[in-house]
A and B are shown apart, each in its own frame.
Chain A
């Protein structure tokens, strides 16, 4: 049934390997700037590390997971071999070449601009070219997902597209379009300067282009986790999916409204007026809708599982859930972290409240809780679920898996809650050193120290994750059986055309983007004298 096992495994192994390395960098960064260690003497090492950590965790790791998972879904849900396997390997190759090309200048200290680029700081052109290659490789995946869906629909006219594939294509289209913002920034603004064709750059415009990518990229990271919530978890915990159409509506909403809201990252920026800031703020509130719908549907699906297992009464079904099943633990932890992270996110996107925490350690806490916590723990769950089907060997260390998930959950809470707190105190993020002897900063010393221990827990959890996978790879062969996605309690026999394809929603997605970004971009293009001299980093004296 899975004819592209090697392809999917290659994506997952590379993804988790670079994740493991970047995890170590993250823990090191937390340690060296905490009160536990003395000043590292060269701050450049810290920013170099942050650039590597962010580039890997933000661009390489989740992209490879989405690609590998996407190829697996295409084969498993459509029940046919992947069309374009050779192209898929080409895409994988581009991601590998791009990642290496980007990481070499970073590790040499020639591109310590952080993964958010921050022009007019300009690093080595190879850093940016490498990232462009990673994105181009992933665009091959985007095209292949739509191609596979198109061919399946042509052969199965009128049949509902399997939910997993429907959602998978939503994620790929979202990424295809949201990556355009950063691509424009890189190709039209940064690369000409990095290559020496120009010496000035409009930093304000660059920030607007980057915001186009910066928010929806989070939803691209989120998509595999949401696909797992809907199409893996209900089956894995012995239940059924509560609603197939609500799932489709949620994914459509993500596709349409996740995109044109990125200016909420620019609330405090001087180059965008208040009107569009408000519009993006209101639309950001709207993107909470698909998440609220998802929380309801998945909790209802868990209730079905609990009742099928004999749970009675308003809360008895909770006790009856399979709590020793790693998948049950993963989804629970993920939801708890999504809840806290989402509540923090409502503050970030608030037109008024954002100013109290903007760009402080709070924000770092927020996105680590959402991405590193709620999303990455589901990446672990996806790997645990797919591994036996990819390797033909069973994963039997259930106890280790539970320990790993518990450690990740506790570690992420211990890491990020103190960050939220010191952010409220006004602690700026991304500094190589804090003078905790200053009486005004002294109250931040203890929470920062606590968070370092959270980082240690995360490293232990990451190591356990590799132990589980490697033990699986070494286990004797065992037939994993047919792979199944969750079945809806009322399986769809036919779905409206609007919920079975994306033409309408793509038009809306692009239209909304043009409305919400067209004016701010046009205004900045029309403004004279806003280009400023580039400041090169890593230049040899």
Chain B
């Protein structure tokens, strides 16, 4: 073989190896996207699906986020809906009370700027954008205390914006619901 032939043969091998690697890379990516689609469809693990709005200028006086409606509410189907509002630089309620081993939906919005909503030790993590409602489903396995910081810069008091989540035994929670329509830690 001449040098030219060697060179051409080398180029063919190089191109073949390269093609194989490209195919492996594409397969990895298709697999990853496929896994995400499968988990999303079969286990319904996905980010919030629907877009809902709430006017921040009337948040306190009308609609589901009026102060008397904030906190944990027992629904007829046995699930619990927790409503909260974020504002510079606190959450209302400042301490959320929820039962363990119960399907829970957090519904929250912001009264002013963009805030964050994160419950440490869980996968609850969402943005609160003024004008929109964030809704996240969750189930706590066991009683315990969690910190709930605002995780988005919201002004110079951002570092002080921490709330608490108290997860209590389901029976104890249900006992409290007979006396109060909406529950928070202070009741």
Using CB atoms and an 8 Å cutoff, list the residues of chain A in contact with chain B. 43-44, 46-47, 50, 112, 114, 118, 120-121, 202-204, 207, 242-243, 246, 266-275, 277-278, 281-282, 285-286, 288-289, 292-293, 296-297, 300, 346, 350-352, 354-360, 425-426, 428-434, 438, 440-441, 489-490, 523, 527-533, 535, 537
Provide the bound-state CA to CA distance between A535 and B128, in Å: 16
Chain A residue numbers with a CB within 8 Å of B60 are none
* B47 partner, pick from A268, A430, A440, A531, beta carbons under 8 A: A268
* A282 partner, pick from B33, B114, B124, B151, beta carbons under 8 A: B33
B37 to chain A, nearest CB (A): 7
Nearest A residue to B52, CB-CB: A270
Provide the bound-state CA to CA distance between A346 and B156, in Å: 32
Q: Could you tell me if B36 and A537 are in contact, using CB atoms closer than 8 angstroms? A: no
Q: Could you tell me if B159 and A433 are in contact, using CB atoms closer than 8 angstroms? A: yes
Binary CB contact string for chain B from 48 to 89 against chain A (1 if under 8 A, 0 otherwise) = 111111011100000000000000000000000000000010
Within 8 A of A (CB), among B2-54: 7, 10-11, 14-15, 17-18, 21-22, 25-26, 28-29, 32-33, 36-37, 39-40, 45-53
Nearest A residue to B150, CB-CB: A428
Q: Could you tell me if A429 and B151 are in contact, using CB atoms closer than 8 angstroms? A: yes
Q: Could you tell me if B129 and A440 are in contact, using CB atoms closer than 8 angstroms? A: no
**Is B155 close to A, CB under 8 A?**
yes
A367 to chain B, nearest CB (A): 15
**Is B158 close to A, CB under 8 A?**
yes
Q: A289-B26, A352-B46, A530-B132 are in contact. Are A121 and B151 (CB under 8 A)?
A: no
Interface size on B, residues (CB 8 A): 68
Q: Could you tell me if B29 and A288 are in contact, using CB atoms closer than 8 angstroms? A: yes
Q: Could you tell me if A537 and B155 are in contact, using CB atoms closer than 8 angstroms? A: yes
**Stretch of B91-99, B115-123, B176-184 lying at the A interface:** B115-123
Contacts A489-B14, A530-B131 supplied; 12 other A-B pairs, CB < 8 Å: A50-B153, A246-B18, A267-B47, A268-B48, A269-B127, A274-B46, A293-B21, A351-B36, A355-B47, A359-B116, A359-B118, A537-B155
Q: Could you tell me if B153 and A118 are in contact, using CB atoms closer than 8 angstroms? A: yes
Provide the bound-state CA to CA distance between A533 and B51, in Å: 20
A67 to chain B, nearest CB (A): 29
A532 to chain B, nearest CB (A): 4
Chain B residue numbers with a CB within 8 Å of A530 are 53, 131-132
A136 to chain B, nearest CB (A): 27
Chain A residue numbers with a CB within 8 Å of B11 are 490
